Amino acid sequence: MTLIVDSTGKPFADLPAGGRARADSGWGGPGITQPSYSSLFPYEASNIQTPEMGQWFPYIRSPDSEINQFRDRMVARSRDLARNDGWASGGITRILDNTVGAHLRLSANPDYRSLSMRARGFDATWADEFRRAVEALWRNYSEDIEHFNDVSRQLTMSQQLRLALRHKLIDGESLFVSYWMPERIGVGGARYATSFMLIDPDRLSNPYQIVDTKYLRGGVEIDDYGVPLAYHIRRAHQNDWYNAVESMEWERVPRVDEDGWRRVVHDFERDRAGQNRGIGVFTPVLAHAKMLARYYGVELQAATVATIFGTYVTSPFDPKMIESAMDSDGEELGFYQDLRADWSKERPAMLNSVRIPTLAPGEDIKQVNAAHPHSGFGEFAHEMLRSIAAALGVSAEQITQDWSRTNYSSARAAMLESWKTLSRRSADFKVGTATPIYACWLREAMENGDLDDVLPRNAPDYIEAATEYSRCDWLGVGRGYVDVTKEAAGAVMRMDGGLSTLRDEAKEQGRDWEEVLHQRALEVKMFKELGLNPPDWAGEVAAAEVGKPEPTPQPQ
């Protein structure tokens, strides 16, 4: 019997477990049948008496309590999956190729309207001049063949950013530390002292692996408001035996120096408020991915076993005949074996000079069929991959690279949906990692006077208007086309209808709209100089030029 009480603690009635109230229980009067226990739970999600919910009691914890103490285990499993599972590795590659790509280009876009409120001379013309100058300086810095932008001098800035995004996807976070290295200027060949080091997030941890405290969460030192103040970084990875001493030494790196120079760029995707460390994209589907990888191994083993049990030849000699042949000193069995050899040797069957195997009289070929563990392997694996693809934010076709089931409409719809997620991931990474790095370098460039020629008089210092000066966008990989003709025609219609601009369309394909225009003008000029018939779009440009009035001659 189970006692049910009301909010005051007064018992309603005694009910048998899982049963309904009796008619005379006092719940609703004689003759009224009351609902079962499920009525006590207004939401099915709160029910504790069903088989699905009865043993499901997760804890309520803070995000740091859920992540930090289990982070190393989750990250190690995610990395192992990305190393050894082709689908997981391919999924990460697809995301990287559709966000950062091979090159991430700066598109400076200073907020001249906000700056114009501080001083005169900030307008669209100035913004264009500033953009051209700062982009040229950034290209020389980020693509320096000596890699002075990298503390280890191994990677360009685009390569560092791609690797950082890989860390963010698999490990859950990316971590950059900026260094001031004036010794490299001049003699070393560097133009700027600012240099960056990409840190493995494993090295970000509490000193001596102590548990989290109020002001120290997974190596991140915070204040009462949750603002990161500093980061505690190991001098070497915890499992580097050859750096055993350094692996037990931590360096406290402030987030911002006393003069306001950014030292640490820590970027991760937040799922909850108050979170200080991130989780990788595979975390929700790690169990599914591991089970699928094991299932592939079982399927491969089954295929291997099936090939071992191949074909065999049966003869008319049954066991009794063989026993009789053995009793006669093997004369009869030897006679039969000689007969088989003679038959195959003296009566070969030839077809177009190719010999065909033949059987002796009475022999037959049979085959052993090994039982297959699962006849619907392909469909099952496809459904499992769809679950993984949903967690990664891409389509299943992008992971498997199998487009045999896809037509134009479905491919376009899948790409549009995945493009939204990819665009969001790309935007988050640019805002969280790429732009702070650019802003850190831009401060040195402006304080060195490299941009004084394009700054108006009384322009505020960088530190006074850092947000306005460092406002920018980044051009990564283009979205591409499913049907070039249809989508290119759509782009033209959007621009002609005033729903889009050349800048928007070029950006969607990873191009700089001004470079497109300059290149088109150069090509029209070359067509004219070489006496070639220009393409249709060049003809329209030429027609527009013909309609212009002739310039008025100026006196010499």
pLDDT of residue 6: 47
pLDDT at 375: 66
> Range with the lowest mean pLDDT among 191-200, 306-315, 509-518?
306-315
Instruction: Indicate the number of domains in the chain.
Output: 2
> Which range, 300-309, 320-329, 459-468, 505-514, is most confident?
459-468
Both tokens of residue 467? 């947000």
* Model pLDDT for residues 133-190, shown as the tens digit of each residue: 999 999 999 999 999 999 999 999 999 999 999 999 999 999 999 999 999 987 778 9
Q: Where do the DSSP E strands lie in 199-263?
A: 216-217, 220-222, 228-234, 250-254
Confidence (pLDDT) at 25? 42
Mean pLDDT: which of 32-41, 88-97, 301-310 is highest?
88-97
Q: Which of 46, 61, 78 is the C-terminal boundary of a domain?
A: 46
What's residue 88's pLDDT?
Answer: 87
Report yes or no on 163 lying in a domain. no
DSSP track, 359-417: --TT-EEEE--PPPS-TTHHHHHHHHHHHHHHHHTS-HHHHH---TT--HHHHHHHHHH
Within-domain flag for 318: yes
Q: Output the average pLDDT for the chain.
A: 80
As beta bridge partners, residue 13 has 4
pLDDT band at 21 (very low <50, low <70, confident <90, very high): very low
Cα distances (Å, whole numbers) of residue 19 to 13, 38, 39, 187, 426:
12, 10, 12, 88, 56
> 143 lies in a domain?
no
Task: Give residue 326's pLDDT.
Answer: 54
Q: What is the pLDDT of residues 505-549, one digit of tens each?
A: 777 776 777 777 777 777 777 888 888 877 776 545 444 444 455
Structure confidence at residue 318 as a pLDDT band (50, 70, 90): low
Residue 130 lies in a domain: no
Residue 513 lies in a domain: no
In whole angstroms, give the CA distance from residue 16 to residue 310: 63
| Domain stops at, among 11, 27, 46 | 46
| 381 in a structural domain | no
Q: What confidence score (pLDDT) does residue 53 get?
A: 85
**203/229 Cα distance (integer angstroms):** 17
Percent of the chain with pLDDT over 70: 72
Find the mean pLDDT for residues 471-480: 80
Give yes or no for a contact between 534 and 527, defined as CB atoms under 8 angstroms apart: yes
Matching residue, tokens 């285990």: 73
Residue 346 lies in a domain: yes
261 within a domain of the structure (yes/no)? no
In this prediction, residue 52 carries a pLDDT of 82
Range of the domain at 16: 2-46
